[in-house]
Amino acid sequence: MRAVILISGRGSNMQALLEAGLPVEFAAVISNRPDAPGLAVARGHGVPTAVVDHTQHPDRERYDAALAAEIDRHAPDLVCLAGFMRVLTPGFVQRYERRMLNIHPALLPAFPGLNTHARALAAGVRLHGCSVHFVTPEVDAGPIVVQAAVPVLDDDTPERLAARVLAQEHRIYPLAVRWFAEGRLTWDAQGRVRLIGAAAAPRDCPALIWPDG
């Protein structure tokens, strides 16, 4: 299976995917920012890189058209968003329907969007975490593949909470991509994702939640 990863920054989730030993050929890493540190990381792993700079396009539609052209040049079966900080147009999302995944630092549907860790602390929740989901036109609202939860501690700051959540992001994103590559993700009549076959929780993940087959 071939995959393309989209990044905007350091690409820590991208690195987790590249180092997970997945049955995937990562055909390219593409950034909307030419200064994204993750580009050097990808090249260090022998993965081709490209930049489609959003500042060089007059609107979202034309940017997304240029991005889609670069993605399609690599003929991927899967597109992985890994800290790609762009809101995608409905036409772009539909082009890769059911073959584009995203990692979000919250237990969706709670806290979509930005600043999730500070918002979780302000809301007083006792569990926080991360979600891998398929991308749909509505931001952070697509069918969930897998989630991991961490406890919220009394002395947490957004930074401390973010670090614990990020460690779980690095575990569940490769898991979701592996399931996709192995053809183990299916859809029920309500458009929810289901996992074919049993799965064991990694020992270092405190609370892992996946779609029951």
Domains of the chain: residue spans and CATH: 1-96 (3.40.50.170), 102-213 (3.40.50.170)
Q: In which order are the strands placed within the sheet that holds 25-31?
A: 49-51, 25-31, 2-7, 78-81, 100-104, 127-134, 144-151, 208-209
Whether 45 is catalytic is no
DSSP string for residues in 66-98: HHHHHHHTT--SEEEESS---PPPHHHHHHTTT
Say how far apart CA 21 and CA 40 lie, in whole Å.
20
pLDDT at res. 207: 65
pLDDT tens, N- to C-terminus, the chain (213 residues): 999 999 999 999 999 999 999 999 999 999 999 999 999 999 999 999 999 999 999 999 999 999 999 999 999 999 999 999 999 999 999 999 999 999 999 999 999 999 999 999 999 999 999 999 999 999 999 999 999 999 999 999 999 999 999 999 999 999 999 999 999 999 999 999 999 986 655 555 556 665 554
CA torsion sign, 110 to 113 to 118 to 123?
negative
Set 54, 57, 74, 104: catalytic member: 104
Ranges of beta strands (E only) in the chain are: 2-7, 25-31, 49-51, 78-81, 100-104, 127-134, 144-151, 185-187, 193-195, 208-209
Query: Can you give the pLDDT at residue 208?
Result: 66
pTM of the entire predicted model: 0.93
Please tell me whether the peptide bond between 109 and the residue prior to it is cis, using omega within 30 degrees of 0: yes
**Helices 158-181 and 116-123 sit at what angle, rounded to 10 degrees?**
120
Can you tell me the distance from the alpha carbon of 53 to that of 154, in angstroms, rounded to the nearest whole number? 41
pLDDT tens figures, 176-207: 999 999 999 999 999 999 999 866 555 555 56
What's residue 197's pLDDT? 86
